[in-house]
């Protein structure tokens, strides 16, 4: 099956939000199984995310979204954050892809391999750090380390120097993130990310 996301006008694509939703649901079912669906209550957040990914600068600007920064997608457990971040990149295959990496896996790797792991995330690839803030503490040879905090500082430097993109998902609010990573990292996160949030009452879609 082929899905049109809009119409071609000369060399410009005019995207159609309803067509994008049809594509995302079809692609989601291929990736996550037949039970996957796009929920009507998520249309507002999906609209913003779609505008961001297609880089509609005019509309994003109206909504206070900076297309040159990453996305920090927050919301309750099970609302679909990770699935959407895995899915949305397929809508723009011509753009640099990013790898979605569970934060807890990064810490497990650090506990096993040490500081090399933090260095590995200072490379030229784009990442989405999944489930930020609920990962376990990092300990290597008895030394404790706030692994994701250090990686966020590295990613901030890469963003400032090379405009390299980082995304993240989290269940935590701004104050909880600051408590977890400290004020310095939190202020860097404000520069790194656009904050987009699911409604607090979003249902758990995993059942």
Backbone angles phi, psi at 65, to 5 degrees: -105, 130
pTM comes to 0.92
Report the topology of domain 6-197. Rossmann fold (3.40.50)
Buried b (16+ CB within 10 A) or exposed e, 140-176: beeeebbbbbbbbbbbbebbeeeebbbbbbbbbeeee
Q: What would the two tokens of residue 197 be? A: 């949030």
Q: What is the pLDDT of residues 139-151, one digit of tens each?
A: 999 999 999 999 9
- Out of 8-22, 33-47, 188-202, which region has the weakest mean confidence (pLDDT)? 8-22
- The DSSP bridge partners found for residue 194 are 71
- pLDDT score recorded for residue 29: 95
C-alpha neighbours within 13 Å on the C-beta side of residue 135? 29
In angstroms and rounded to an integer, the radius of gyration of the C-alpha atoms of the chain is 18
Q: What is the pLDDT of residues 34-48, one digit of tens each?
A: 999 999 999 999 999
- Which H or E element spans position 150? helix 147-162
CA-nearest of 176, 197, 189, 174 to 79 is 197
- pLDDT score recorded for residue 197: 94
Give the Cα separation of 72 and 173 in Å (integer). 11
pLDDT tier, 104 (very low <50, low <70, confident <90, very high otherwise): very high
| Confidence check: pLDDT of 12 > 60 | yes
- pLDDT score recorded for residue 18: 92
CA-nearest of 39, 36, 20 to 28 is 36
Collapsed DSSP state (helix, strand, coil) of residue 65:
coil
């Amino acid at each position: 099956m082929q899905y049109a996301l809009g119409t071609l006008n000369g060399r410009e694509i005019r995207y159609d939000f309803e067509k994008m939703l049809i594509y995302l649901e079809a692609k989601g079912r291929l990736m996550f199984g037949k039970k996957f669906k796009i929920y009507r209550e998520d249309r507002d957040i999906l609209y913003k995310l779609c505008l961001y990914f297609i880089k509609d600068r005019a509309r994003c600007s109206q909504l206070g979204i900076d297309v040159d920064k990453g996305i920090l997608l927050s919301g309750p457990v099970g609302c679909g954050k990770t699935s959407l971040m895995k899915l949305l990149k397929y809508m723009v295959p011509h753009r640099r892809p990013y790898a979605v990496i569970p934060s807890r896996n990064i810490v497990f790797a650090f506990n096993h391999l040490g500081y090399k792991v933090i260095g590995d995330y200072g490379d030229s690839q784009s990442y989405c750090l999944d489930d930020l803030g609920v990962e376990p503490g990092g300990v290597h040879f008895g030394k404790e380390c706030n692994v994701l905090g250090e990686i966020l500082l590295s990613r901030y430097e890469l963003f400032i120097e090379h405009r390299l993109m980082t995304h993240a998902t989290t269940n935590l609010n701004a104050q909880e993130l600051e408590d977890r990573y400290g004020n310095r990292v939190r202020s860097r996160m404000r520069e790194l990310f656009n904050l987009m949030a699911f409604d607090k009452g979003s249902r758990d879609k995993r059942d």
